[in-house]
Amino acid sequence: MSYFDAASAAPLHPVARQALLASVDEGWADPARLYREGRRARMLLDAAREAAAEAVGCRPDELVFTASGTRAVHSGIEGALAGRRRIGRHLIVSAVEHSSVLHSAEAFEAAGGTVTRVPVTRAGRADTAAYRAALRPDTALACLQSANHEVGTVQPVAEVAEVCRTAGVPLLVDAAQSLGWGPVEGDWSLLTASAHKWGGPSGVGLLVVRKGVRFAPQGPLDERESGRAAGFQNIPAIVAAAASLRAVRTEAVQEAARLRELTERIRTRVPNLVPDVEVVGDPVRRLPGIVTFSCLYVDGETVLHELDRAGFSVSSGSSCTSSTLTPSHVLKAMGVLSEGNVRVSLPPGAEADEVDRFLSVLPDVVATVREKLGAPAPRTAVHEDALVVDALGKVCPIPVIELAKVIGDVPVGGSVRVLADDEAARLDIPAWCEMRGQQYLGEEPAERGSAYLVRRLS
């Protein structure tokens, strides 16, 4: 089985396993106690904190360990907003942040705060000028991920941090996807990360708050972790997390170059092997191991199942899966094709022959899914010089399939009106038009759902 979903969780690094087992017998006691076992546990915790701080590029007393990366994000955003509540109640986030950031923003909004969501380019990159324009006198905090978890696009953190610093606004960086590859550049104020993203054990997050940043921990106070992370520390897991972070960093330069070559192989060959595919994300400024593409006329759930049967574990941001009814918020914000989406995220150590086997299997998988799915005979009618396709009640990717089948039935310059009530159609029909060289004229209200108007250009 080839595991190609490291962006969700990387396999446990051998160094993490060794450190975890070794510290189980030494790090079980309360590190706050003064007896021998407590002192031994405290030494392990302090050493792990120093190692993690060195990898991050901060002071050890600026870093605390949390129960997860999500908890680090929630605590970091809540604490920073509370610490600057006298400044104002305005938060800035990018439209492609991790769900933990967006959920925090929603909670803040529900409590009376205001949130500006900065749009991104079609490559998934946030614009520094857009962050500058979003800043206000009452802005308490800005958030920007270091790199996107779905498409791998690296964000301009250093530039945005400089803009925020000039305005006197702290910037929180979610570095979960990138920290294993190197420190985050720029004059950021807060940083979060999650150990299971770089091969550490799950259940360990990092929260860094730079000295001088106003921060007010929320919830009942706790004497552990500077009052910023309540509860008894899982010292064996923390030790393993720090050890694995140090280990992957020593391998990062060589491994990054190797994985970039493999993902570039996927990026360039998939469009040649599989027709009607869009490779998404920035082609240059991206993480080493992530490549994402979307396939027309297939549903993501079936593609994932077929690849799993062929021995490949991948993930999807497609709306055509059982776990979600709407497209990934990342793909939606980028304005790219969502149907049949496949994210390949290679773990360190992934072999070239595994990638080659994936490329040999993928064309047949997609072709088989397209054949199995088929396309129901569309019901069409002529209405005001436009061919009307009734796709109401049909989910992704059926509306696009039915559009593709009838576009040739209208003359060049003629139009097709697609009636659909599936949320994915709003994203996928314009994306199909761009891929196929047709003109998307826009969306109109309909008695049910929406009407999407397409003009045939070729």
**Can 320 be counted among the known catalytic residues?**
yes
The C-alpha torsion from 265 through 350 and 11 to 327, rounded to 10°, is: 20
- How many alpha carbons fall within 13 Å on the CB side of residue 404? 22
β 312-313/2-3 pair status: parallel
The C-alpha torsion from 377 through 378 and 379 to 380, rounded to 10°, is: -130
Q: What distance in Å separates the CA atoms of residue 4 and residue 378, rounded to the nearest whole number?
A: 37
Query: Helix, strand or coil for residue 416?
Result: strand
Q: What distance in Å separates the CA atoms of residue 295 and residue 236, rounded to the nearest whole number?
A: 43
Active-site annotation holder among 58, 320, 396, 433 = 320
Who contacts 388 (Cβ-Cβ below 8 Å, separation ≥6)? 380, 381, 382, 416, 417, 419
Decide if 97 contacts 88 (C-beta within 8 A).
Answer: no
Decide if 180 contacts 7 (C-beta within 8 A).
Answer: no
Q: What distance in Å separates the CA atoms of residue 373 and residue 376, rounded to the nearest whole number?
A: 9
Q: Is 253 exposed, middle or buried (0-12, 13-18, 19+ CB in 10 A)?
A: exposed
Decide if 193 contacts 177 (C-beta within 8 A).
Answer: no
Q: What distance in Å separates the CA atoms of residue 253 and residue 416, rounded to the nearest whole number?
A: 51
Residues carrying an active site annotation: 320
